Chains A and B, each alone.
Chain A
Amino acid sequence: MSVATQAMSRVKSRAEGRPASYYAGLVLRYLALIAIGLVMFIPFILAFLGSFKTDAEIIAWPPRFLPTTWLTQNWVKVWQTDLGEGGTFPRWLFNTAFLSVAIAVLEVIGCSMAAYAFARLRFPGRNLVFNFMLGTMMIPGAVTLIPAFVLMSKLKLLNTYWSLLLPGIVSAGAIFMLTQFFKTIPRDLEEAAHIDGASQFQIYKDVILPLARPALLTVFILQFQAMWNNFLTPLLYLDAPRMWVLNVALSVFKQQYKAQWNLTLVGAVFNAVPVLVLFFFFSKYYIEGVAYTGVKG
């Protein structure tokens, strides 16, 4: 707080010192901010407007900004897409949402358990396992891609939710982040619980987890987003139309609807909106998560 007030007073004193150049700089800075903001958002705006255009207008030269007629039918058409074998749009939406939520929940449980062991328990081999985990973070995903596919095919898990859920129970990055967070929680409460005869599991469940709620929410959101945006693994493991996730379906849209870019864009916007909405509501947790994995890691 005091740092913030110091900064404020510094700004004020500077503003009083040299008004003309200061205000010119200020205007320039806000213009730059607005311009960059527009650049970041314009592809989404163009795609959203494009999703209402007609087949002809979407690829007409020169492209116009607003659609001449707002064709809401495009959205209905995409929603009713049916490629047979149970490959329908609502099904893909369900697959994506289900997998994203399920993986996020599993990660929160699996990662917080491991993080509790790393941060709070003392047992032989702990540092060895922790360093081993840091080592696995260095392994590029390209190496495990093919053998994991073969393993899934042997276990007959291809085209089941399990093929994504089982490996998704834990992730080294999230465990690392939670371990760092758990270490910052004061030990007094646990010691009190310990004296009252609580088991390690009770301490984890009733003391640590409630105190770590913001960090757990961050893990949940980041993992939800990671699964929602995941493409390569679902492309490999879930190739039956009824098991597709939105991303995989979208990649097919491009061929399915060839020149009908308006329909492909509907799919793209449909896919982008849930994560964007989630992000706008929980942007604090997103940003803390990214910053935390980066700076403290």
Chain B
Amino acid sequence: MQAQKSSVQGEANLAAIGAFVLIFAILFTIALMNAPVKATAQVTETLGSYLREVRTTALPFVAIVGLLAVGVAVAAAVVVRREWPDLTRRRALIAGYSFLAPYLLVTLTFTVGVILFALYIAFTKYEIYTEPTFVGLDNFAKALKSKQFLQSLHNVLWYAVIVTVAQTTIAIALAVLLNSPMRFKQFFRTVFYAPSVTSSVVITLIFVWLYLKTGYVNLLFSKVWELFGLHYKAIDWLGNPKGLIQLIVELFGGKIPSQQWYLRGPSVAWCCLMVQNIFTTAPTFMIMFLAALQDINPSLYEAASIDGANGWQQFWKITLPLLRPIVVLVLVLSTIGTLQIFDQVYLATAGGPLDTTVTPVYLVYTEALGKQGPIQMGYASAIAFILAILIFFFTFIQRRVIERGAEQY
């Protein structure tokens, strides 16, 4: 009896050591893969040359991540030692982590590992083919002093506010329209949703063509102007850097000097991309609202109409309050999406005219690949983190504001 117990205990200890070694090896390999070293052909040629480079330049990074790995591996070993003697629990443990293995390996390598690397290089000067050198907060300071980056934040904030408000409103309106009793509901739902399944590249190219000086958008405007007997002069929509506020001020004979560019509002070109984005994403959110509308108990509306509430009142007093959780979700998703806008900018305007459509992710792309000057991986990474902080901040605020509003109900 005693011997049997000690042999089980010995087996558990052995398993714990095995778990420790396995997990530490995996995590340490991921750390090595993501070690901040220069990635020249000589360095990555063989495993030996790579490890030599890691030893000479990236020891602090590997040591810190290695310590984290030891911590996780110890925790795992303790759990294995505790669970091992019980057959059912041992099997559950092994099965659970076997099923999770693909997920964990991929996420630890391509999400956690790369984020640790990104965090490290954000504080260094790193050009991928040079060793990263520590520069403290220089990259962040440089970003916050760069006019281009500030303008990209300014652009993307206008974009997020206008597009989010517009597409949420339109999505709710479309969902309510589709939710009313009707024939061919499926058909209309499918047709409305079509722009959302097509790639942003396709839609952007089509819209760039529609926005041409000789395109259909100008044709539409000229036809409308003709109705009123006015002469219409075709506009180069995507080449127009004038801000909306600037246009209004100029209408009254005023002027906004270029030093005060931040007062000019979103440019005409930028607004064109907003329209296009609303067109493609509003249907996605429409589907979410539609699903939520179908969950609302119809007896609520019956009771309200007996009390004499008209359709408009029912919408404001019943539908909208009950949609609140989905509204929060849609606002958050829309903000996250719009703050990271890239495809449309890359294809339609390349940040121009006069940087009025430049965005943070577009800057991350151009700086990291050296599309405008030298490669600046560290700087690009700093920009990405500033954007991430901004996104966290906005999602947090939105949740707080709307949840506080919900307390009334």
Contact = CB atoms under 8 A, between A and B. Distances in A.
Interface of A: 3, 6-8, 10-11, 29-30, 32-33, 36-37, 40-41, 43-44, 46-47, 50, 59-63, 109-111, 113-114, 116-117, 121-126, 129, 133, 136, 138-151, 153-156, 166-167, 169-170, 172, 175, 200-201, 204, 225, 228-232, 235-236, 247, 250-251, 253-254, 261, 264-265, 267-268, 271-272, 275-276, 279-280, 283, 286-287, 290-292, 294-295, 297
B329 A61 contact: no
Given A46-B216, A172-B107, A264-B205, 11 more contacts: A40-B194, A46-B210, A123-B83, A125-B96, A146-B364, A170-B103, A230-B199, A272-B199, A283-B189, A287-B287, A291-B291
Indicate the member of B33, B102, B103, B193 with the most A CB atoms within 10 Å.
B103
B113 A110 contact: no
SS class of chain A's interface: helix, strand, loop or mixed? helix
Contact of B103 (A47, A113, A143): A113
Contacts of A126: 96
Given A142-B387, A200-B95, A279-B197, A251 B50 contact: no
A166 B214 CA distance: 45
Nearest to A59: B214
Contacts of A200: 91, 95, 99
B201 interface: yes
B114 A148 contact: yes
7 contacts: A7-B181, A117-B96, A143-B115, A148-B110, A149-B368, A268-B201, A275-B198
B106 A295 contact: no
Contacts of B207: 43
A106 to B, nearest CB: 9
Given A43-B207, A232-B343, A271-B202, A150 B287 contact: no
Given A140-B388, A147-B114, A265-B209, A272 B181 contact: no
A123 B98 CA distance: 11
SS class of chain B's interface: helix, strand, loop or mixed? helix
B181 A247 contact: no
A264 B209 CA distance: 10
A162 B32 CA distance: 20
B155 interface: no
